Amino acid sequence: MAAVTHGAKKATLAEVAAQAGVSLATASKALNNQPHVSDATRKRVHEAAEQLSYIPNAQARSLISGHTNSIGVITSDLTGRFCTPILLGAEDELGVTSNTVLLCNARGDALLERNHLSFLLSRNVDGLLIVGDETTPRPHLDTPDHVPVVYAYAPSADPNDCSIACDNVEAGAMAVNHLISCGKRKIAIIGGSDTTAGAHNLRLGSPKASQDRLQGAMRALHEANLEPAGPVRFSQWSESWGRAATRLLLDQNVDFDAVVCQSDEIARGCMSVLHDRGIDIPGQVAVIGHDNRSLLAPDADPPLTSIDNCTEEIGHVAARALLDAINGKPHHGTEYVSCRLVQRDSTLPN
């Protein structure tokens, strides 16, 4: 509250004690609001601390307590696309218990990852959050038993680990069900990446996500006794693929009144081609995307309905799971966080 003028160097507890005319032990108790200190003394110590802009030394404290009130985050997400919201959610959750976050970027390099790990362990983090950038399970990370680990977004391949992931199968089903509820029956699907090799880079994204979303979409279609309109094609997550795939549908005279695009990029490409051909959205063809990317969906023309994977919520849940584990109640297995439909004008009911 008070406008603290920061002095030249840090004051120690010993200096505060001296200034207040008490012993080290008493000063410690007074500042930590422990009992068995007279009100007068407590007041004097607090004043002395204020005067000297005393800041307790966290290193010394955790040397004694054995914990650091901090967690380590290792991410392989260069773009920050998943990492940022997850971190935001995690910080939200951890903030309550005064936790800090130590960030390390492994850039997808396993060796670098191990280096970062040692680094964080030497700093005695109370827990570890491993944030991946795709939904394909990643290898288990070998860590000491006494530090809990939670995997976020990219789950661990080891079912005994605790992982928090998004539910792309549900997302796929949700997209289709929404279109059906809008009165559409002839639903085309434009897939994302389908590279089965490991050669998927950032722009291509994860084939697992496209398969999961497809699976959910097919399930929902079948439950409604429907089949997708036209063939489902995969290539990339990009706008240009969205344009190309839409042209294919149109030029091959596929009869469709809605399109599920497996990403917002694809959806934008799709919309621009429909626009070119004078097809009304959503009247003639409704379009729905995935990921609800703020740069692409809300301000499209018309605004694009999209399925939000709730990455921030993943951060919340993961942080809560980590806190639980730190407090002796570890979770096991993969927990899926539900996605959310964000309806906009590209899928208005007929």
Partner DNA sequence: TTGAAAGCGCTAACAA
Partner DNA sequence: TTGTTAGCGCTTTCAA
Q: Partners of 335 in the beta sheet?
A: 164
The helix/strand/coil state of 157 is coil
* Single residue of 35, 40, 144, 160 touching a second copy by CB under 8 A: 144
The helix/strand/coil state of 167 is coil
**Minimum distance of DNA from residue 35's CB (angstroms):** 6
Contact status: 51 vs a second copy (CB under 8 A): no
Q: What does 209 interact with, of a second copy, DNA, none (CB < 5 to 8 A by kind)?
A: none
Residue pair 322/148 in contact by the 8 Å Cβ criterion: yes
Q: What does 294 interact with, of a second copy, DNA, none (CB < 5 to 8 A by kind)?
A: a second copy
Span near a second copy by CB under 8 A; candidates 31-39, 71-79, 253-261, 322-330:
71-79
Q: What does 103 interact with, of DNA, a second copy, none (CB < 5 to 8 A by kind)?
A: a second copy
Q: Partners of 162 in the beta sheet?
A: 150, 333
Contact track, a second copy, 279-298, x by CB under 8 A: --------------xxxx--
Q: Could you tell me the CA-to-CA distances from 110 to 76, 80, 134, 139 in Å, in that order? A: 10, 18, 15, 10
Q: What does 24 interact with, of DNA, a second copy, none (CB < 5 to 8 A by kind)?
A: DNA
Span near a second copy by CB under 8 A; candidates 14-22, 59-67, 131-139, 332-340:
59-67
CB crowding 20-56: b at 16 or more within 10 Å, else e:
bebeeebbbbbbeeeeebeeebbebbbebbeebebee
Please report the beta strands in the chain, taking only residues with DSSP state E, as ranges in sequence order.
Answer: 70-75, 100-105, 127-131, 149-152, 162-166, 187-193, 233-235, 258-261, 286-290, 305-308, 333-337, 340-342
Contact status: 118 vs a second copy (CB under 8 A): yes
Give the footprint of a second copy on this chain (CB under 8 A). 3-10, 53, 55-60, 62-63, 68, 70, 73, 78-80, 83-85, 87-88, 91, 98, 100-105, 118-124, 142-146, 238-240, 243, 265, 269, 272, 275-276, 293-296, 299-301
